[in-house]
A and B are shown apart, each in its own frame.
Chain A
Amino acid sequence: MKKRINVLAALGLACAFVAISCSDDPVNPQPGPGEDDGDLTNTKYIVAAHPNSAEAGTADYLLTVDDLTKGSISTSGNGLEQRGTYRYYMTNQNRFFSMLYGQGNPGAVTSYVLNGEGKLTEASDFVAETVQVFTPVNDEVLLIKVPRSGNENAGFFRVNAKDPQLVGEASVNVVKLAGNGERAHFTWATQVEDKVYAPYMSIKGCCNATFDTEYPDSTWVAVFSYPELKLEKVIKDNRTGVLGEYFKNGIFVDERGDAYGFSGASKTRSVNGEDVLISKNPSAIVRINKGTTEFDQDYFFSFEEKTGGYKINAARYFGNGKFLVQTYGAAKSLAGVKFAVVDVYEQTVKMVSGLPDNIKSATTTNYGAISEDKTKAYVGLTLESGSSYVYEFDATTATAKQGLKVVGGTITGIHQLKY
């Protein structure tokens, strides 16, 4: 029985990892209208999904739908095949980018647009690096290759989104950046005004314990100029933990230009074969005010305290100070899936009702579907029973409603394009 649980846990982790490891445009939830996209009024949703299968190496399929709130769809005989088991998706400039995670090797990227009929059409195909961070910055895509061991240089690559090609690159020595004998591992990066803020965690990067650390209770944000990608400063704090997580965004900019940082403060270490929490600080939200490069010491929103012990897993911005936060199944737990609506202005947390109780994985950080009025978010939830659904989350009422069903498949991303 123990073995079965382990296998299940591994599967669950794998799925959760795939589901939460992509994120798109965190700055601007709407695909930015390019100079020729201004008149486009029709929207299509791109749902990436793969069939559930005990067989390894299955591909993702891109399904194009008009409505996420009802109906059902399947990858059987339907969808645009995407090579590779691990793919990451994002949009910028009304382009949809499908990236192959190439195991540290160069990775192929395909970009798509919707044609006049709303059909997903290949725009370009190029070879990039396999990266752990990809984020829109102006009309470019910034990719960061973050080595977890061996190589000490993290590579930064700027790609023109409309005519995909490398337009600039830089590198940063992550061992020197960490300066504590460990490695700085960027969790994500977010455009804040005309700069790029890249939070990182400190990791050992060796010794059979790559992601272990002696510093589980610190927050670091590396500030880079753009487009020069010069390291200008590291912002530090010791009230909570790392912002974001591996492949998860942790910094969001609101309409006022203030940046909010979300920390799960959930670093674990394997002790006697069990994962034990080593972060002592609470899971919390912190702020960097517009025009400053320091944490606002007067702002500290302890999610953990407000919820009686829940920790943040992932977050997504609705707008107007409201966030959808994915948390865990119970207080003090790092397993299971629950959701909450958080208001960072009022410092309130409302748990979301209307959710199924057998959620295996969720696409919280990587959906591109926020309604025009910034009150609804669309997240893919895959259930233990095998199917997955798009759920519509309401920022005002903190409720969730079941929408489009993806039969027998796992949703790995939801994005929107205009045509």
Chain B
Amino acid sequence: MQYNKFYTAILLAIGISMGSPKAQVVQRDTTRADSLQDQRLIDSVVVMGRTRVHEINRQAYNVTAIDATKLHNSTLDIGHAIDRVSGVRVRESGGVGSDMNISINGFTGKQIKIFIDGVPMEGFGSSFQLNNIPVNLAERVEIYRGVVPVWLGSDAMGGAINIVTKTRNRSYLDASYSYGSFNTHRTNINAGWTAKSGFTVQVNAYQNYSDNNYRMWMEPSNINTWKREPAQYIRRFHDTYHNEVVMANVGVVDKKYADRLMIGVQLGKTYQEIQTGAQIESVFGSAHRRGNIVMPTLRYYEKDLFIKGLTATLNANINVGKEQNIDTVNVRYDWLQNTKYQDAPGGERSYTLYKYSDNTGLATATLSYDINKRHAIVVNNVFTTFDRRGSDELFPENEAYEMPSRTRKNMTGIDYRYNHDGKWVASAFFKNYNQRLTSTSSYNPSGNWGDVAYETQKMNYNKVGYGVAASYFVNPDLQIKASYENAKRMPEAFEIFGDMVNRVSNLELKPESSDNVNVGVGYFFNVTPDHRFALNAGWLYRDAHDFIRERLQTNQTRYIMENLARATNMGVDGEVRYSYHNLISAGASLSYHNFRNMTMYDNPEATEISLVYKDRMPNIPYLYGNADASVFLTDLGGKGNNLSIGYNLLYVHNMYLFWPSQGSEGKHIIPTQFAHDVNIVYALSNGKYNVGLECKNLTDARLYDNFSLPKPSRGFFLKLRYFISQ
């Protein structure tokens, strides 16, 4: 057993950043594709933290990495873990498994790309989101808030999240179970074994279950009278969510032909009851959704391929899983659980059993070459395919109109990097995006009822993007960074073709673009050797065109994606961290965005300037922050037993649902949130056995991310975890 490594892991596992240098949020070099695969580097990152500013290869990108191992004793999912990062806001419509929308510096939804181990998480299906993946799956989570590096080959408008699952140890077992309020159960088993021969097996299995039956304060409307009842606490009653996922990989490591070659499969399924529509007034008691994921994967990594310094990475996967919306009970519910049934075929929202598969395939290849100590080149190519097929057994006659929709997207990026002995690092990159759409639509050729013919439309988009990034160490404790990217994003298949349920297609959706500038400074200092501080501040500017936004379709029953406004955003964020010996760690961050609508005329014929020109973009968080504090008591109740007590505060300033400048009375507001979470973790035998107790929403505040849709009330959660490795 490598004692040091183990010791570090334990410290992290129980949330101790031993010694002030180990701030909770660490930063590291991820520009190098190979670093992803380098286990030793991760160790060093963990140990060094961000305070070792003279650590070489500090990158120029605006990136924050969360050391997820420190959260492994918490019941957090990855979504909630990244919500604590400066400049990032995760909005949810409810409890476990609810719809989640990540925003990074004002960009939201599909404008933010998510990766697992550098592979784009596209086509995982709507039911696999970051808020239902346990944090234990991740070794760390990297959040890119500006330029997205070339080796993460994809089109992002300004922001990406990369979940790094690589396991640190050759053989390990991490098993945990948690139980808590709202009948919430979570299990995670993460195990790996590597034989002397290099044969490796990795299994990661997790499960989430919750009734999500939390309390909400409201005046419920009665479906029998249509009158509102007196204000009262109502429990949600049709909001059960569960998912079960197994990821298994088999392969070899440290072979001549491959440093790592793994084939695997990700299998999962999800069940989600639909409790509400987009507003709290819409109550459902029967409609639900099912999905599964069946995704074979291939991972290949080879260092010093043919020549020294040349590294190759190859990833491929295809998801043939299916999604289905089930709404076949013709009933109306209210929050008091009164029901009214009708004896005709119908649903609560939309009578449907529509089932579809997107058959999303993906292949990425990265070649990086370190020419010498100073010069390096990375070339990356990502190819994705999408081929939708669906049907609804309730409406077999519709099948004639159901034609396949396909996209092929290819992105190539090249990055040149210069590293001047770590003193300064500069990178310039160029990306090419190509998207080919094939859609077949039905039409009536004769005018006679029921006559159907098919027409295939093809569209081809080609766009280029480019950028530069640089960082400079003024002195070992002071770093300055700046980056610029002309970012492009091709609309995703789901945005172009819709989902046939709640979203209709818009084949004319154009790529969107944005000019992104980030400037940042990091400074580390000690008041005395015992009191250590870290400061980070950033400034950003965004100028987005053909901004892709969601709106209600004209017929008002579905959503459609549209290229709409020009919008700009100027923002600042700041973070300060403090630590005292091994005893206390605390920090706070705050972000402000001045995100404005810059669309002067609302249509090409208009001669009058739009009333909402230069108005703040509504319903987007613009002032928010986090604060946290932890106390660590080491060797409590025996050597190697450690206790930590932590506190976390989330703050989101109130915001208007609609344009701030319009109207004077009855403005709809999403209220200010103050969410307090506390946790106690007791780790025994150097982290082999861990017990964590958490309280989320300590003050039982009424929290809203979205208008009228409350987030969970106060909840308590207990987690037991067993961890060994060698």
Q: Which of A181-233 contact B (CB under 8 A)?
A: 206-209, 212-214
B225, B442, B602, B707: which contacts A52 (Cβ < 8 A)? Answer: B602
Contact of A80 with B by CB under 8 A: yes
Decide if B664 touches A149 in the complex (CB within 8 Å).
Answer: no
| Chain B interface residue number, banded | 35 or more
Kindly list chain A residues whose C-beta atoms are within 8 Å of the C-beta of B665: 79-81
Kindly list chain A residues whose C-beta atoms are within 8 Å of the C-beta of B352: 150
Convert B352-380 into 0s and 1s, putting 1 for each residue whose CB lies closer than 8 angstroms to a CB of A: 10000000000000000000000000000
Contact of A409 with B by CB under 8 A: yes
Determine the distance from Cα of A269 to Cα of B445 in the docked complex, in whole angstroms: 11
Decide if A166 touches B443 in the complex (CB within 8 Å).
Answer: no
B398, B562, B610, B667: which contacts A53 (Cβ < 8 A)? Answer: B610
Decide if B330 touches A55 in the complex (CB within 8 Å).
Answer: no
Kindly list chain A residues whose C-beta atoms are within 8 Å of the C-beta of B554: 10, 13-14, 17
| Chain A interface residue number, banded | 35 or more
Kindly list chain B residues whose C-beta atoms are within 8 Å of the C-beta of A7: 508
Kindly list chain B residues whose C-beta atoms are within 8 Å of the C-beta of A358: 605
Known contacts A14-B554, A173-B344: does B607 contact A55 (CB below 8 Å)? no
Determine the distance from Cα of A157 to Cα of B283 in the docked complex, in whole angstroms: 19
Decide if A171 touches B342 in the complex (CB within 8 Å).
Answer: yes
Known contacts A58-B662, A271-B447: does B557 contact A51 (CB below 8 Å)? no
Convert A257-291 into 0s and 1s, putting 1 for each residue whose CB lies closer than 8 angstroms to a CB of B: 00000000000011111001010000000000000
Known contacts A86-B556, A105-B279, A272-B445: does B225 contact A166 (CB below 8 Å)? yes
Decide if A152 touches B344 in the complex (CB within 8 Å).
Answer: yes
Decide if B447 touches A278 in the complex (CB within 8 Å).
Answer: yes
Q: Which of B204-229 contact A (CB under 8 A)?
A: 221, 224-228
Determine the distance from Cα of A119 to Cα of B635 in the docked complex, in whole angstroms: 69
Least CB separation from A216: chain B residue: B449
Stretch at the interface among A33-41, A121-129, A236-244, A338-346: A121-129
B250 CB → nearest A CB, Å: 46
A101, A151, A269, A386: which contacts B347 (Cβ < 8 A)? Answer: A151
Q: Which of B505-563 contact A (CB under 8 A)?
A: 508, 549-552, 554, 556-558, 562
Stretch at the interface among B25-33, B151-159, B653-661: B653-661
Convert A356-391 into 0s and 1s, putting 1 for each residue whose CB lies closer than 8 angstroms to a CB of B: 001000000000000000000000000011110000
Determine the distance from Cα of A128 to Cα of B447 in the docked complex, in whole angstroms: 39
Decide if A56 touches B550 in the complex (CB within 8 Å).
Answer: yes
Contact of B40 with A by CB under 8 A: no
Contact of B235 with A by CB under 8 A: no
Decide if A53 touches B226 in the complex (CB within 8 Å).
Answer: no
Contact of B564 with A by CB under 8 A: yes
Contact of A137 with B by CB under 8 A: no
Contact of B611 with A by CB under 8 A: yes
Decide if B611 touches A409 in the complex (CB within 8 Å).
Answer: yes
Kindly list chain B residues whose C-beta atoms are within 8 Å of the C-beta of A77: 661-664
Known contacts A173-B344, A272-B445, A276-B447: does B552 contact A104 (CB below 8 Å)? no
Decide if B228 touches A269 in the complex (CB within 8 Å).
Answer: no
Decide if A101 touches B602 in the complex (CB within 8 Å).
Answer: no
Determine the distance from Cα of A61 to Cα of B185 in the docked complex, in whole angstroms: 46
Decide if A164 touches B226 in the complex (CB within 8 Å).
Answer: yes
A61 CB → nearest B CB, Å: 5
Determine the distance from Cα of A7 to Cα of B562 in the docked complex, in whole angstroms: 10
Kindly list chain A residues whose C-beta atoms are within 8 Å of the C-beta of B659: 51, 53, 55, 58-59
Known contacts A79-B664, A173-B344: does B221 contact A386 (CB below 8 Å)? no
Least CB separation from B340: chain A residue: A169
Contact of A256 with B by CB under 8 A: no
Kindly list chain A residues whose C-beta atoms are within 8 Å of the C-beta of B618: 57
Q: Which of B440-490 contact A (CB under 8 A)?
A: 442-447, 449-450
Least CB separation from B502: chain A residue: A103
Kindly list chain A residues whose C-beta atoms are within 8 Å of the C-beta of B226: 126-128, 157, 159, 164-166
Decide if A150 touches B351 in the complex (CB within 8 Å).
Answer: yes
Decide if A386 touches B608 in the complex (CB within 8 Å).
Answer: yes
Contact of A413 with B by CB under 8 A: no
Contact of A76 with B by CB under 8 A: yes
Contact of A408 with B by CB under 8 A: yes
Contact of A75 with B by CB under 8 A: yes
B654 CB → nearest A CB, Å: 15
Kindly list chain B residues whose C-beta atoms are within 8 Å of the C-beta of A409: 611
A80, A150, A387, A407: which contacts B350 (Cβ < 8 A)? Answer: A150
Q: Is the interface of B mostly helix, strand, loop or mixed?
A: loop
Known contacts A81-B665, A269-B444: does B611 contact A57 (CB below 8 Å)? no
Decide if B608 touches A55 in the complex (CB within 8 Å).
Answer: no
A78, A105, A385: which contacts B282 (Cβ < 8 A)? Answer: A105
Kindly list chain A residues whose C-beta atoms are within 8 Å of the C-beta of B564: 54-56
Kindly list chain B residues whose C-beta atoms are within 8 Å of the C-beta of A152: 344-346
Decide if B281 touches A106 in the complex (CB within 8 Å).
Answer: yes
B350, B444, B603, B662: which contacts A272 (Cβ < 8 A)? Answer: B444
B398, B443, B450, B605: which contacts A384 (Cβ < 8 A)? Answer: B605
Decide if A79 touches B662 in the complex (CB within 8 Å).
Answer: yes
Least CB separation from A122: chain B residue: B666
Known contacts A102-B279, A166-B225: does B447 contact A385 (CB below 8 Å)? no
Decide if B663 touches A125 in the complex (CB within 8 Å).
Answer: no
Contact of B627 with A by CB under 8 A: no
Contact of B604 with A by CB under 8 A: yes
Contact of B401 with A by CB under 8 A: yes
Decide if A74 touches B611 in the complex (CB within 8 Å).
Answer: yes
Kindly list chain B residues whose C-beta atoms are within 8 Å of the C-beta of A56: 549-552, 562, 564
Determine the distance from Cα of A4 to Cα of B510 in the docked complex, in whole angstroms: 13
Decide if B397 touches A150 in the complex (CB within 8 Å).
Answer: no
Convert B268-285 into 0s and 1s, putting 1 for each residue whose CB lies closer than 8 angstroms to a CB of A: 000000000111011100
Determine the distance from Cα of A237 to Cα of B84 in the docked complex, in whole angstroms: 67
Contact of A350 with B by CB under 8 A: no
Contact of A107 with B by CB under 8 A: yes
Known contacts A8-B604, A86-B552, A147-B346: does B658 contact A57 (CB below 8 Å)? yes
Determine the distance from Cα of A403 to Cα of B52 in the docked complex, in whole angstroms: 71
Which of A7, A58, A358 has the most B CB atoms < 10 Å from its CB? A58
Least CB separation from A108: chain B residue: B281
Determine the distance from Cα of A199 to Cα of B149 in the docked complex, in whole angstroms: 62
A126, A129, A276, A384: which contacts B227 (Cβ < 8 A)? Answer: A126
Determine the distance from Cα of A147 to Cα of B346 in the docked complex, in whole angstroms: 9
Decide if A408 touches B611 in the complex (CB within 8 Å).
Answer: yes
A-B contact pairs, 14 of them (CB 8 A): A11-B603, A54-B602, A57-B551, A83-B668, A105-B278, A105-B282, A106-B332, A127-B226, A149-B351, A151-B346, A166-B225, A270-B443, A384-B606, A385-B607
Given contacts A276-B447, A407-B611, list 15 more A-B pairs with CB under 8 A.
Answer: A8-B604, A54-B602, A54-B603, A77-B664, A86-B556, A102-B281, A104-B349, A104-B350, A105-B277, A106-B283, A107-B281, A152-B346, A207-B450, A386-B602, A386-B610
Which B positions have Cβ atoms within 8 angstroms of A?
Answer: 221, 224-228, 277-279, 281-283, 330, 332, 334, 342, 344-347, 349-352, 394-395, 397-398, 400-401, 442-447, 449-450, 508, 549-552, 554, 556-558, 562, 564-565, 597, 599, 601-612, 617-619, 657-659, 661-668, 707
Nearest 9 A-B pairs (CB), nearest first? A56-B551, A150-B351, A151-B346, A127-B221, A105-B282, A208-B401, A386-B608, A408-B611, A59-B658
